Amino acid sequence: MARGKVQMRRIENPVHRQVTFCKRRMGLLKKAKELSVLCDADIGVMVFSPHGKVYELATNGNMQGLIERYKGSNTEAHGESSEQNKPEVIQQEVLLLRQEIDLLQKGLRYMYGENDINHMNLNELQALESNLEIWVHNIRYTKMQIISREIEMLKTKEGILKAANDILQERVLYSIP
C-alpha cells in the first residue's frame, strides 16, 4: 500500500511530534549506517532533540576524528597539496582504525564483565554509550515492529471471532422453539 504525501510542517501534537522524532531519527541513523557499510564511506551524523539531547553516529572512529578529518580536507581544498599529505592521512586512518578496534574490544570486555568499567576514560565511555544507545534504539524499533504486527494479527483474529460469535448467536436464537 502506498503512503500518502506528508505535509512538511511542524506537528502540533507533542506526543505525535516526539514519536515522529524518534522514528525519523532512527531511520536517519539506520540509513547513514547502511550507506557507510554499502559504500565504505565515513559518515558522521549529529541530531539535537527538542529537549537538547544529542544523538550522534560516527561510522569510523569517533565524531571528533571525523570533524578533524573534515577540517583537514577543507584546508586541502583551499590550495594545499593532497599528494604530500597522503602518507600522513593513511597513517592517521590506520591509527583511527586501531583505536576503534581497541575501543570496541574494550567495550565488549566491559559488557561481558571481564574488565572494571572504572578504568575507561571519558572518550571511551562516550563512545561505548553512543554504541549502546544505537543498539537499544535498533532493538526498540524492531520490538515495536513485532508488537505492531502482533496487534494487527490479534485485531484480525478478534474480527474473525466476533463474526463466528454472531453466527453462533443467530443459530442459538433460531434454534430456540
Encode pLDDT of 134-143 as tens digits.
Answer: 888 889 999 9
Res 78 pLDDT > 70: no
| Confidence (pLDDT) at 135 | 82
Q: What is the DSSP letter of 44?
A: E
H or E, element range at 54: strand 54-58
Domains (range + CATH), the chain: 11-59 (3.40.1810.10)
Concatenated DSSP letters of 96-143: HHHHHHHHHHHHHHHHTTSS-GGG--HHHHHHHHHHHHHHHHHHHHHH
Over range 39-49, report the average pLDDT: 88
pTM, rounded to two decimals: 0.41
| Confidence (pLDDT) at 168 | 92
For 109-146, the pLDDT digits (tens) are 777 776 666 777 787 778 778 878 888 888 999 999 99
